[in-house]
Structure 1
Amino acid sequence: MAPGEGGQAPLLAGRGLHKRYGAVHAVRGVDISLSTDRYVTLLGPSGCGKTTILRMIGGFETVTAGVIALDGRPLLDTPPSRRPVNTVFQSYALFPHLNVADNVAFGLALRRLPRDEIARRVAEALQMVRMDSMGARRPRELSGGQQQRVALARAIVNRPRLLLLDEPLSALDRKMRKEMQIELKDLQRRLGLAFLHVTHDQEEAFALSDSIIVMNHGVIEQEGDPETIYRRPSNAYVADFIGGSNLVAGKVVACAGGEATLETAFGPARAPCAPGVAVGRRASLCLRPEQLVIGVGGSLGGTVRHTVFQGADWLVEVAAGSAALRVRCPDEEPPAVGGAVSLRYDPAKAWIADGALAGDA
């Protein structure tokens, strides 16, 4: 078993995980490892296999091939109800005929714990999620955010070793999602539990995670802390999916010392590069919208096609040859649509990722 942080065995280890649904190969040989006290997010588009992995860990999906162990003990022959794992579902899955306290107590009652212990643990869990004053309410009397807190309390009252969260904030409005992100991270720190969270929302993943696992078509594209994932994407897919980089495709003509030179339609570009980049391969120059500056003497020229006001700044789209480059412009007045502009960037802050998106020249 691979070691976790500090050389310790990981809390959870999945090795060579595969899942097939007939001819559909949903998960393709994934290795996953979680350390205690970490908030880890599986991030990717719909259908990439992230929820399937979560359900295999929780015991709600069988594993076609591979092994899963928790605290060094195999899980595959253990039914969901006997795994020290709890899941918070997207739909909350609260019982409408039970009040908040009874919803939280349900799992403990099934285990036939003493009534006084159940009452004590329910009170502790509701206080932990700031719902201790609403134990007598029914789910229909609660807001979406309050129902989510109840679902969290019902999960943590069982004192699991690992908490699984399946798109838990997707049903909330934007303001409530922001508030719940802060509460989730704070709760994880206070509990000292490992959280494994599934989402397709990059902003949510950045706000919550100690580590992010980016998935695509049943495989892991990259794993790392949020800053590494954002600033040093391993390939063009990750660069495009995380934060919407401007990607300028080309062929690598030189590579040494952690830097590469890419021959592009705009001429040669030299910048730090991902480990997979090699001479003769296709690669992409990644320029975040905030890294591009509209000004004199830039190496990229084009015509302003659109401007969009976003509150703190303007997002300006520049047509440069066959490329559409997005630029964040902090000025009070953006350049005029149809006007010619010159774009420059700091090569030391740019990044060359392996590969190119389908259809890129």
Structure 2
Amino acid sequence: MDAADRFEDETEGREHRSLLRGIAVHKEYGGVHAVRGVDFRIAPNSYVTLLGPSGCGKTSLLRMIGGFEEISSGIIELDGRSLAGIPSSRRPVNTVFQNYALFPHLSVEENVGFGLAYRSLSKAEIAAKVEQALSMVQMTSMAKRRPRQLSGGQQQRVALARAIINEPRLLLLDEPLSALDRRMRKDMQIELKDLQRRLGMTFLHVTHDQEEAFALSDEIIVMNNGRIEQQSTPAEIYRRPASAYVADFIGGANLVPGKIHSVSDGATAIETPLGLFGSPSVGGLRPGAPAVLCLRPELLRLGGADGFEATVTHVVFRGAEWLVEARALGDLTLSLVVHEAEPPPVGSIVRLSFDPARAWIAAADGT
């Protein structure tokens, strides 16, 4: 009995708290460390996004899960069983690629049913499954068309139908929306999340677009330089970033450098060029350690007797609001969101303030 057969026998009928688990997963390409010993857990029936810039290791991690790349070291488990030695074709995992990878000479229904041809199913059973899968992605009326006759969004729906027809335990999506225009991406985000909920399936989605990750995800795994910086809900990552990198990459927080003044009974104080502030913080900080005070643009406000002076340097109209940049203490640039009908003009001196209880202290990068 080979590894794939043992996997199927051992996992049948089992329930596990984590559908997918990674332990010290490492990938090296000729001396280049693409993924650096990462640990992660993904729950059943969840939508999880691997988020990070190009070259951070997210696609390498996805390919190892799918079986398209071998792990240099570490363990990946699905349903509590190691995937080592199991080829991609025998894993209960399907992938939707960035370019959709549809067969141009086959019709939509033939593309969707292609993977079923190697299973012990009658033509009637295959036809029923194809019709059901196309119905799930609202493509029944396009069943006889060829891929070249479809729009980008329609081709993506066909790729999704082909992936879900085999009822995988895990669906991997590798930048599936990157080829679509902005309006189509927003529409497909809604459709993807709705499809995942209806199927009750786990989706693991790779993207570099934080707005896309926030719109889709139950949890986000933020990657940087081959490492996982943080895994949590979108709200937790936005409000309580684990590091300066996460705070900056997610939502572009204002990062005021400083060092920890004191930590006592869960309260943390940080000394910064703007002054001494007591704010909630990430765990593990020690007095004297470098850190950053994270101020989201929407937390800064104009005015306040206890604030500080800044000079407006840029004003950008964003429809429902203005984004204002101001320089404080010579070289500290801060961004804030202004909802007034008329923002302060460039060159004007304003007073800025914020509520320290709504700020966040994170570890400085490299600490």
Q: Same fold (TM over 0.5)?
A: yes
Task: Give CA deviations for 1:75-95 in whole Å, capped at 9, x if unaligned.
Answer: 121111111100001111111
Task: Give, in angstroms, the shift of residue 299 of structure 1.
Answer: 2.2
> Could you tell me how far apart the structure 2 residues matched to 1:79 and 1:255 are?
50
**8 Å Cα contact 1:15-1:31 kept in structure 2:** yes
Quote the residue 2:312 is aligned against.
Answer: 304
Aligned partner of 1:354 in structure 2 is 363
- Report what 2:340 is aligned to: 331
- Deviation string 1:17-57 (CA, Å, 9 cap, x unpaired) is 11000110111111122121011111111111111110001
Give the Cα separation in 2 of the matches to 1:18 and 1:306: 44
**Mapped pair 1:59 → 2:67:** yes
Aligned equivalent of 1:314: 322
1:3 alignment partner in structure 2: none
- Residues 282 and 354 in structure 1, CA contact (< 8 A), matched pair in contact too: yes
Contact kept, 8 Å, 1:258 with 1:274, in 2: the verdict is: no
The answer on whether the counterparts of 2:261 and 2:288 sit within 8 Å (CA) in structure 1 is: yes
Alignment partner of 2:80 out of 72, 85, 96: 72
Task: Provide the TM-score with structure 1 as the length reference.
Answer: 0.95
Partner of 2:281: 273
Pick which of 218-227 and 64-73 moved more. Answer: 64-73
- Do the aligned partners of 2:16 and 2:80 also contact (CA within 8 Å) in 1? no
- Assess if the C-alpha contact under 8 Å between 1:25 and 1:218 holds in 2: yes
SS at match of 1:184: helix
In 1: Cα distance, 2:24 partner to 2:158 partner: 35
Offset, 1:199: 0.8
The whole-number CA distance in structure 2 between the counterparts of 1:253 and 1:225 is 29
User: Distance between the aligned counterparts of 1:300 and 1:172, measured in 2?
Assistant: 44
SS of the aligned residue for 2:26 comes to: strand
The residue aligned with 2:58 is 50
Q: Do the aligned residues in 1 keep the contact of 2:312 with 2:325 (CA within 8 Å)? A: yes
State, as a whole percentage, how many aligned pairs show the same letter.
63
Which residue number in structure 1 is paired with residue 28 of structure 2? 20
> Separation in 2 of the partners of 1:257 and 1:237?
26
* C-alpha deviation, 1:258, in angstroms: 2.5
Q: 1:356 Cα deviation (Å)?
A: 4.8
1:338 corresponds to which letter in structure 2?
G
Task: Give 1:96 deviation, angstroms.
Answer: 1.1
Q: Which amino acid aligns with 2:333?
A: A
Pick from 153, 156, 161: which aligns with 2:164?
156
- The answer for the alignment partner of 1:125 in structure 2 is 133
Rounded Cα–Cα distance in structure 2 between residues aligned with 1:332 and 1:54? 46
Matches within 5 A, 1:108-187: 108-111=116-119, 113-187=121-195
Tell me which stretches of 4 or more aligned residues in structure 1 moved more than 3 Å: none
**Alignment-derived partner of residue 5 in structure 2:** none
Question: What's the CA shift string for 1:115-134, capped at 9, x where partnerless?
Answer: 11110000000000111111
Inter-CA distance 94–298: structure 2 relative to 1 (3 Å threshold): farther
Aligned mates of 2:181, 2:122 — CA distance in 1: 39
Look up the match of 1:100: 108
SS in 2 for 1:133: helix
What SS class does the counterpart of residue 66 from structure 1 fall into? strand
* TM-score of the superposed pair, with normalisation by structure 2: 0.93
Deviations 1:290-341 (A, max 9, x none): 0010114252321100000001100000011211101100011110000001
In structure 2, which of residues 342, 345, 353 is the aligned counterpart of residue 344 of structure 1?
Answer: 353
Q: Unmatched 5+ residue regions in structure 2? A: 1-14
Query: Counterparts of 1:86 and 1:201 in 2: how far apart (Å)?
Result: 22
Which piece of structure 1 moves more, 45-54 or 255-264? 255-264
Deviation at 1:222, TM superposition (A): 0.7
Q: For 2:227 and 2:308, how far apart are their aligned partners in 1? A: 35
The superposition leaves residues 224-277 of structure 1 with CA deviations (integer Å, 9 ceiling, x where unpaired) of: 111100000011111011000000000111112332111111121221111032
Q: Distance in 2 between matches of 1:8 and 1:76?
A: 18
**Would you say how many aligned residue pairs link Structure 1 and Structure 2?**
352
Secondary structure in structure 2 of the residue aligned to 1:101: helix
Equivalent residues of 2:19, 2:79 under 8 A apart = yes
For structure 1, the residue ranges without an aligned partner over 5 or more in a row are 1-6
Q: Distance in 1 between matches of 2:251 and 2:284?
A: 21
